[in-house]
Structure 1
């Protein structure tokens, strides 16, 4: 217990002293995960909304597939991305393997199904509520997508939060395609795994504290936004 308290004290010193290596790892993690979530949102939100309002043959099968892809094993994603980006792979000429870009690609593959599925659920609920009103105004199904996405923007923040949580906490895929190279592709999760195996618990704990703080603060912000929106809605009503 005393050893743990000492390591935790060292961890807090690393955080509060602005340790250069520590914050380099944190900033790279944030950069990779934020870019991955933004790209996944650009791809997943329109797709999820289209699945919610669209009617086409095979729609139910596509929805089942998207839901199934939410549980993609990260190591399998890492393997597939690795094979695509390796020298003998179809994208090997781009020389992206063991770069932050490769890590972003892996995270996009993991996060896009999550955002797509959660967006579909949100927009489908809103569409059931507003469909008749939108049709009476002459708005087609596809034309209603931007309106429904905007109306459900606060609920969709939860989808983005879920995607960010999956991305920032990822280990298997990013270590396979990034290589955990110091000052190049070393992010929080891979560093925690490495430093724990080396017995450097202070750095691992410091990164763990920051990860938890990020998760709690982002969840709190989204909850406050939703709560504020509900209060404003009651006032307007």
Structure 2
């Protein structure tokens, strides 16, 4: 209990004083995770909807694989990205290893299956409800997907939030590809791991509480936007 109390006090001090290191780490954490979530959503939302609307021979296998990838070990993803972007790797010439870009790439790989799988489940239910109507209107597949995504946009926000939650709390993959370099690739999760390893549990708890507060704030902001949009429709 004493450590928790000290952690809360440390978090309060860091936030109130607008600690420069905390601000830098927090901004980088948000930039990396939000960018990864936007890219993963741009890939996963249409992919999940496409799988729900289309029928093809290997569809069940693709869906099963997508669901399995939701549990993809982040450390393995980090290792693969590391190998690809290392100096001896095929993309080593780009010099992206130990940069925020490499961290974003790793997070996109991790959370895209999550967003796509949740989207598929949501759109599948909408497709069963609106299938006859959309077909009778002679819509193209692209139009059907667009209409279903728009109709289910509030429910699909959950998919993106799930991806963001996984991204903002990720440590294994970004530790490998980012290197936890001070003033370069250090984010909240890797800073917590570092402080814990040093035995600075009050600081680690403080950063942890800041991370939790940050995740809640983003979720509340999106929830408010959703409610505002709903109210505007009425």
- Once the two structures are superposed, what CA deviation does each residue of 1:116-158 show, in whole Å capped at 9, x if it has no partner? 1111111111111111111111113332000100000001110
Compute the TM-score of the two structures, normalised by the length of structure 1.
0.92
Secondary structure of 1:70's aligned partner? helix
Number of corresponding residues: 234
Residue of structure 2 equivalent to 1:107: 107
Contact in 2 for aligned 1:32/1:104 (Cα 8 Å)? yes
Q: Unmatched 5+ residue regions in structure 1?
A: none
Residue of structure 1 equivalent to 2:25: 25
CA distance in structure 2 between the aligned counterparts of 1:109 and 1:3, rounded to whole angstroms: 36
Q: How does 1:114-153 map to 2 (within 5 A)?
A: 114-153=114-153
CA distance in structure 2 between the aligned counterparts of 1:216 and 1:56, rounded to whole angstroms: 40
Name the CA shift for 1:94/1:206 in 2 (closer, same or farther; >3 Å).
Answer: same
Secondary structure of 1:57's aligned partner? coil
1:53 aligns to 2:53 (yes or no): yes
Name the CA shift for 1:3/1:131 in 2 (closer, same or farther; >3 Å).
Answer: closer
Contact in 1 for aligned 2:3/2:201 (Cα 8 Å)? no
Name the CA shift for 1:50/1:4 in 2 (closer, same or farther; >3 Å).
Answer: closer
Larger mean Cα displacement after TM superposition, 81-90 or 213-222: 213-222
Contact in 2 for aligned 1:74/1:173 (Cα 8 Å)? yes
Q: Unmatched 5+ residue regions in structure 2?
A: none
Name the CA shift for 1:79/1:129 in 2 (closer, same or farther; >3 Å).
Answer: same
CA deviation after TM superposition for structure 1 residue 202, in Å: 3.6
Q: CA RMSD in A?
A: 1.9
